[in-house]
Amino acid sequence: MVIHKSIRKALDIKQNTSDNQILFEWKKRIKNICKPCWELKYCPYGPIIEEFPLLPLTRKGAEEHNNYLINCLRTGVMDSGDKVDSIRKKFFRKEINNFDSNDYPEIIPRELLEASCRVFGHICPVFYTAEPLTETKELRKHTRQIQRDVMLKVVRRDGQICQKCNQPVFDDEVEFDHIIPFSKGGKSTVENLRLVHKDCNRHKSNSLSELLHPSPIEHLFELRRKNRF
């Protein structure tokens, strides 16, 4: 996969570093989850994250936003229903005139997307610095094995209904799915487990796509656009 120049610039990567080297390094960084995020349930870095790199929009996302600005100028109204005032008109025209789709990557490597903060969109400090001090003993303690009392609580809570397809689950088809995948730090607790069919469970693998927006920065951009305009 070719790493676009805008991504290299955002992450301050040396130009003589090969694409394979970049991906190999980031695969190691995201091997474990962001411990403060999943264990503390909030980000201890707060606004500091905004000082860390922000990945660019994909080309498709940038083109969609540029078309949105063009439409705002054409209609004089934004999605929020507000009118486009003179200040916004000037800003929008400048953005449209300076727009070049080649400045944006067609795709962003999964390794980098998974390192992006799901709240702020910026590269998570834990992954960016990749310090071993962010590791905790809890990762080494927790196991994939599910205790019997936990299984029974999940079965009672879900009513023997598959939480993926909403169909009854026979006893010989019962499996327990980690909502936050075990490989990503998900625990074998009642809160993080759900009852599913064997086949439904196989289709998920260790993906976080059901929980998280596929592109943190594009999601952040959408939210900011709604709040700002």
CB 55 within 8 A of CB 108: yes
pTM, 2 dp: 0.56
CA distances from 12 to 5, 99, 116 (A): 10, 22, 16
CATH placement of domain 142-204: 1.10.30.50
Q: Any idea where the domains of the chain sit in the sequence?
A: 1-53+106-136, 142-204
Burial (CB < 10 A; 0-12, 13-18, 19+), residue 158, is middle
Encode the chain (229 residues) as per-residue pLDDT tens digits.
789 999 999 988 888 899 999 999 888 888 766 666 766 666 777 777 778 888 999 999 999 999 999 999 999 999 888 899 999 999 999 999 999 999 999 999 988 888 888 777 888 888 887 654 444 444 445 566 788 888 989 999 999 899 988 999 988 889 998 887 776 667 788 888 999 998 888 766 555 555 555 565 566 666 666 655 4
